[in-house]
Amino acid sequence: MDSAASILIGTLLAFVAVLLGRETGALLVGERTNRTRIRNMKQIITDDPAVERVGELLTMQVGPHRALLTVEIRFRRTLDIQQVESAISRIKSRIMEQEPTMERIFIDADPFPEPIPGKTEAA
For residues 120 and 76, which has the higher predicted lDDT (pLDDT)?
A: 76
pLDDT, residue 118, reads 62
The domain covering 32-109 belongs, at the CATH homologous superfamily level, to Cation efflux protein, cytoplasmic domain (3.30.70.1350)
At CA 10, angle to CA 12 and CA 27, rounded to 5?
A: 50
| Stretch 17-44: mean pLDDT | 81
| Stretch 38-63: mean pLDDT | 90
Q: Given strand 51-63, what is the order of strands in its sheet?
A: 51-63, 66-75, 102-109
Beta bridge partners of residue 57, listed in sequence order? 71
What does DSSP say about strands 66-75 and 102-109: parallel, antiparallel, or unpaired? parallel
What would the DSSP string read from start to end of 43-102? HHHHHSTTEEEEEEEEEEEEETTEEEEEEEEEEPTT--HHHHHHHHHHHHHHHHHH-TTE
Confidence (pTM)? 0.67
pLDDT, residue 116, reads 56
| Stretch 14-33: mean pLDDT | 78
**Is the pLDDT reported for residue 86 higher than 70?**
yes
Is residue 74 within 8 Å of 6, Cβ to Cβ? no
pLDDT-derived band at 42, boundaries 50, 70, 90: very high
| Stretch 80-108: mean pLDDT | 92
- How long, in residues, is the chain? 123
